Every structure is written in C-alpha cells, then in structure tokens.
Structure 1
Amino acid sequence: MELELRHLKTIRTIAEAGSLTKAATALGLAQPALSAQLRRIERALGGALFERGRYGVRATALGELVLERARIVLPAVSELQREAARFARTRRDGLRLRLGGTHGPLLGALVDRLADAVPDTTVTTCTSWSERELAELLAEGRLDFALAGVCGSAAPPDAPQLVWEQIAVDPVFVMLPDGHPLARGREVDLTALADEEWACVPGDGCFGDCFTVACARAGFTPRRMYETDTASCVHLVQVGRAVGLCRATFPPTPGLTTRPLAGTPLVWRHLLGWHPAGQRAETAATVLAQARTAHAGAAARSDSYARWLARRAEPQTAVRRRAGLAS
C-alpha cells in the first residue's frame, strides 16, 4: 500500500482526538474500520504509530516523526490547491468577481459601479456579519474581494498574506425617530442619550467595547443593546423602542433621522481586502477605485453626512482665506 494524503489526515485526526473512538466519530467511520485502516498504514510505514492504553492512544517515536511531517505536508498541499484555483480563475476568459461584504449600502453601490466600469464582468456577492469569516473566505480563495470594516484604529481582520486597503473613514452617527426631541438638533451629545435603549448590527470586532467605553466617558452605562439585522434596527428606532448606531453613509429612510454624535467619539474605517496571489494588480486597482467612488456617492446621498462634512470644511476654508489675505 502506498501512503496517501488521506492516510496522513487519518493519523493527524487520531493524534488530535486522543482515542480511536473519538477519531472514528470525527472521520465518520466505525471504530473497527478505523483500526483496520490504521494497521494497514502502520504496515506501510514499518512500525506502530500509536501506543494503546486505558486512557486512549499516544504517538510512538515513529508516530511523532510522521506527525511532524504531516503538519508540514498537509497545509502545504491545501495552500497549493488554493493557489492553483486562484491562478486558474485569473486565466479564464472574461472576468468573474466574487465580492463579500458586511451590512451597509457600500456593497450594493460597489456592484453598481463595477457594472458600469467593467460591463463584461460577472459579479456575485456573499454577505456575512463576521469580518473574520470574510477574511477566511479570502484566504481560502472562495472570495476575490471583501468589503469589511474596523472600529477606530483597530487592525484589519487577521489572515496571513491578505492585502487590506482603506476606502474611507466615517464618523458613527445615531439614528433617531423623526419625532424624537434630539432629532431637531444639528448634533447629539452622547450624554443626552443616557436613558435610551440601543440597537446595532452585530459584528466580531471591538465596536461594542469601544461604544461601552465612549458611554463610560460620557458618564453612563448603556441600558440595553439590541443586536440584530439592519431592517430590525430601523424598525426598533422607528417605533421608538431604541435609538440606533449607524455609519454616516446610512441612506435616507422614512420615519428616521440620523445625526452626528458631538465630538465624534466613534469612527468606522471601511476596508477592501484581497489575496494578492489571486488577483491581477490592475483588477485590484479598479475594484479599489470603484469602492472609493461608491463610498463618495453614498456619502453624498446622506444629507446629514453632507452637512457634517461641510461644517468640518468651514474652519479649513477660513484658515486658507486668512492665509491668502495675509500674503
């Protein structure tokens, strides 16, 4: 019998499980079948790989040697398969892009922009609340590009060999029902929301912790947070159950007003990620440019964000005018 990759996977599973019974369950085999397979593998390798005891199995010296090699060979073969799949995709006639993204208007806007910029491209999308899941899909070659985001200066989702480029940085706004007393103001002080309940979309980054810290600095602890999908967050705000947290690019919605938080205690960084081994440089540059254009369009469609940006620009304009007069 010649040794195959599946045999190495079997050996690794037995070692990780610590017993033939648990390994058989993990592999979907009956224990007698796994024992027979292990004996064939041991005959092919020339000796026992595991010592059996009352508390399970333990690798022999030969078993440790084989396991050491398996820990190198198996990941290398998996990476080879992923790289081959990525390479094959880049060689096909016509471009097919698989985009991933979290909640928010940016993914749809990017699909729209790409339809104009590269009309012969076939685009499919995959959404997830988890930035880490999107990073894993990129690393595995199951996505070509992913729109993700991180809170403040937090690091991008950790996955080896991925490239992350910043699209834009947005302030985090608050969503209020139109009839809320604070909806009439230009901005909202976080302290004024101390008695409110909150709604926000879920995620696996540090945003929840950063929000709690911002509330603590404002002198209160948030009463309750509803973590749910975007449509449910909007409903909870519209009926007055909660106030919501959203990115500044959140689109205009009937019955709902978005306002900036005074002092901008929370910000959100939009990122585009991809695996450089699977993408041509010109394709990545095109998608990144279109993502930035899509974000600019989303920002322009939000009246509250446009006013916030204009107010931010006023002091800089005044400084430039004074400098021009002085010269």
Structure 2
Amino acid sequence: MELEVRHLRVLCAIADTGSLHKAARRLGLAQPSLSTQLRRIERALGAQLFLRDRTGCRPTPLGLAVLSRARPLVAEFAAIVTETRAAAARAAGGFHLRIGATASRAIPGWLRLLRTRVPRIEPTLQMNVSANALLAMVAAGRLDMAFVHEVEGCPLRIPAGLCLRVLVAREPQFVTLAADHPAAARTEVSLADLAGDRWMVDATVDGEWDALCRVLRAAGLDSEMLHGDYLTAYSLAATGEVVTVSQPTAHPRPDLAIRPLQGDPIGVRLLLAARTESELDGAYPELEQAYWAVAHEAPVYRRWLERARPPGTPALPGAGGQAHALPVPRRHHGMPEARRPQVNGGP
C-alpha cells in the first residue's frame, strides 16, 4: 500500500477529534471503514500510530512525528486544489463559492446578496450542525468559508491558519414555548418560570447540550433533558410537551412564543471563517446586511436590542438596507460589557 494524501487526512482527522467516531463523521465515512483504513496505514508504515482505549484515540510518539510531517502536506495540497479550481472557474467566466453553515435565518438573504452583488459568483451551500466539522472542512480546502456559531463556555477547535471575522460577539439565545404557556404572558422569562418543564435540544450541535445543562445547574434546576432535532423540538413546544432554546432571529409563529431569558444566561458568538482575509472581505458585508435584515424582522429580538444597546451607537440596518432607529454597535454588534449574562440575578 502506498500512502496518499487522503490517508494523511485520515490521520489528521483522528488526531484533531481524538475519536474514530468523530473523525469518521468529519470525513463522511462509516466508522468501520475508517478503522480499516487506519489499520492499513499502520501496517504500511510498520508501526502503531494511535493508542485506542475507552477515552478515544491519542497519537503515539511515532504518530506525533508522522502528524508533524502530514499536516503541512495536507494543507499545501488543499491550497493547490483550491487555487487551481478558482483559477479554472475564473477562466471559464464564473466561480463557485463553497459555503458551509450552521443553521441561521440569515443564510437565504446572504446567498441572494452574493449572487446580486458579486458578478459571476455562484454560491453553493453545505449545512452541518457541527461548527467544528465545518471549520475543519475550510482548513482542508473542501469549503471556501463557513458561517458558524460558538456556544459560550464551549470553545470551538479553530484550525491553525484560519482567518476569523466576528459578526456578533454575543448573541443571546431565547426560549421557545407554547403560545398558551403561563410564562408566555411575560416579556422576559426566568428559568424558575420553567422549573416544571422538560427541555429538548439537539445534542449533536457542538456545545448546546453542555451549555444548557450548565445553565440549569447554576439556576438550581434539575430539569429533564430530551434529545431531538429542532424541527421536532418546535413541534413539541407548540403542544406544550417541551420548551427549547432558539435563536433570537427565529420567525414568529402563532402557536409558539419566543421570549428572552432573564439575565441572558445562554449566548453564542457568530463567526465567519475563511483561509484568507481577502475571502472574508468578499463575503462579510453581504452576511452582515442579511443578518441585520432578519434581526429587523424579529420583533422580540428588536426589543431586546433596544434595551441592550449602549447610548450613541449607530442604527440597525433594516430589511431594505436603510438605517432605522434601533442603534447597535457597528462592527461586532455584541452585548455591551455592562450587560454580561446572569442567572436569576447572580453574577
């Protein structure tokens, strides 16, 4: 067996994730197939590269030596492929911008603006619940950029060499509950108001399960936690079976109530990642406009921003691109330092 770049990618993915299961998910392979590939690579090199136990996989000393040579080769090959494809697309009169993203209502508007404003660019989209997987794909040259969210307290694994642009330094996460839930009558809901409710979150979204567990424990609650995708969670929330975390830009529905949580205990950072600053410059303005357009259309989020904004900051752009009388910070649009998250009034 002769080693190829794809085999080096396998080694890097296992080392980065520390798990055959997670590496297989990142690479789009079945775990048995990945395990077979790793055994073949180790046989070809004549040495064990990873130690496997119940806690995962970690490189042996020889594995670390191989990885130190493999990583720059994988990165260089990805750069060759990306640059060659881009040059070929430009010569043919067009360019496919490969975008990855976690869920956001800003995405349709972003793609529309890119098509309108950037001649000959055709954006393509790959969705994934895992921000870490998307960032790895950008670093490997399989995507040109990724729009992801980082859950507070659960830092993402940012691959070396990526450039980041912060769209929102701290976006509060709201709660979605049935429209006839007693707490829906309030403009702001405390965690204590939801003490008797079950929560449903998608545990495959990087950091969300851990963040909610941490917040509930800090509030002294031992709420039942259910795993489910957010489409299911919203359906069950509408019938009063569960409550769930939601993005503040979520579209209003007559059978659901979207409310801020008192003290804003759960927050995320919204990031755009690419391999170069010039790539970020070419797509960030459209993303920024698309995001604040959907924020403008979300009445509960607009009211939260009005309360959270510091005095004298620029106006929020509306859906048509015109400034409206809702000031927010221009670059990061994050929550001001004076309004850090609290749980039930605590520090």
Alignment pair present for 1:242 and 2:242:
yes
Q: Which residue does 1:151 correspond to in 2? A: 151
Alpha-carbon shift at residue 236 of structure 1 (Å): 1.0
Task: Give TM-score, length-normalised by structure 1.
Answer: 0.71
Q: Which residue does 1:251 correspond to in 2? A: 251
Aligned match for 2:36, one of 3, 20, 26: 26
Return closer, same or farther for 1:123/1:26 CA change in 2, 3 Å cut-off.
same
Structure 1: runs of 5 or more not aligned: 14-24, 39-48, 52-65, 318-327
Structure 2: runs of 5 or more not aligned: 12-34, 48-61, 313-347
Alpha-carbon shift at residue 254 of structure 1 (Å): 3.5
| Conservation of the 8 A alpha-carbon contact between 1:200 and 1:246 | no
| Conservation of the 8 A alpha-carbon contact between 1:156 and 1:164 | no
Q: Which residue does 2:140 correspond to in 1? A: 140
Return closer, same or farther for 1:287/1:215 CA change in 2, 3 Å cut-off.
same
| Conservation of the 8 A alpha-carbon contact between 1:131 and 1:203 | no
Q: Which residue does 1:103 correspond to in 2? A: 103
Q: Which residue does 2:83 correspond to in 1? A: 87
Return closer, same or farther for 1:197/1:89 CA change in 2, 3 Å cut-off.
same
Return closer, same or farther for 1:134/1:249 CA change in 2, 3 Å cut-off.
same
Q: Which residue does 2:233 correspond to in 1? A: 233
Aligned match for 1:286, one of 268, 282, 288: 282
Alpha-carbon shift at residue 71 of structure 1 (Å): 5.4
- Matches of 1:212 and 1:300, distance apart in 2: 30
| Conservation of the 8 A alpha-carbon contact between 1:200 and 1:244 | yes
- Matches of 1:132 and 1:166, distance apart in 2: 16
Structure 1 stretch displaced more, 103-112 or 298-307 = 103-112
Alpha-carbon shift at residue 243 of structure 1 (Å): 0.8
How many percent of aligned residue pairs carry the same amino acid? 23
Q: Which residue does 1:125 correspond to in 2? A: 125
Alpha-carbon shift at residue 157 of structure 1 (Å): 2.9
- Matches of 2:254 and 2:119, distance apart in 1: 33
Alignment pair present for 1:173 and 2:183:
no
| Conservation of the 8 A alpha-carbon contact between 2:260 and 2:304 | yes
Alpha-carbon shift at residue 113 of structure 1 (Å): 2.2
SS in structure 2 of the partner of residue 26 of structure 1: helix
Return closer, same or farther for 1:181/1:76 CA change in 2, 3 Å cut-off.
closer
The amino acid that maps onto 2:36 is A
| Conservation of the 8 A alpha-carbon contact between 1:191 and 1:215 | no
The amino acid that maps onto 1:159 is P
Return closer, same or farther for 1:28/1:284 CA change in 2, 3 Å cut-off.
closer
| Conservation of the 8 A alpha-carbon contact between 1:199 and 1:226 | yes
> Which has the larger Rg?
1
Q: Which residue does 1:196 correspond to in 2? A: 197
Alpha-carbon shift at residue 222 of structure 1 (Å): 1.8
| Conservation of the 8 A alpha-carbon contact between 2:153 and 2:211 | no
Structure 1 stretch displaced more, 198-207 or 165-174 = 198-207
Alpha-carbon shift at residue 242 of structure 1 (Å): 0.5
Return closer, same or farther for 1:215/1:309 CA change in 2, 3 Å cut-off.
same
Return closer, same or farther for 1:174/1:71 CA change in 2, 3 Å cut-off.
closer
State the Cα RMSD in Å: 3.3
Higher fraction of helix: 1
- Matches of 1:5 and 1:180, distance apart in 2: 59
User: Per-residue CA shift, 1:75-127, capped at 9, x if unaligned?
Assistant: 44433321101211332313220111112313223212212222521111111
SS in structure 1 of the partner of residue 159 of structure 2: coil
Alpha-carbon shift at residue 286 of structure 1 (Å): 2.7
Alignment pair present for 1:306 and 2:307:
no
Return closer, same or farther for 1:152/1:210 CA change in 2, 3 Å cut-off.
same
| Conservation of the 8 A alpha-carbon contact between 1:98 and 1:125 | yes
| Conservation of the 8 A alpha-carbon contact between 2:202 and 2:208 | no
- Matches of 1:234 and 1:103, distance apart in 2: 14
User: Per-residue CA shift, 1:185-211, capped at 9, x if unaligned?
Assistant: 110011110110112233453332222
Return closer, same or farther for 1:131/1:316 CA change in 2, 3 Å cut-off.
same
Return closer, same or farther for 1:89/1:218 CA change in 2, 3 Å cut-off.
same
Structure 1 stretch displaced more, 200-209 or 175-184 = 200-209
Q: Which residue does 1:21 correspond to in 2? A: none
Return closer, same or farther for 1:193/1:81 CA change in 2, 3 Å cut-off.
same
- Matches of 1:259 and 1:162, distance apart in 2: 35
Structure 1 runs (4+) deviating above 4 angstroms are: 3-6, 27-30, 66-76
Alpha-carbon shift at residue 72 of structure 1 (Å): 5.7
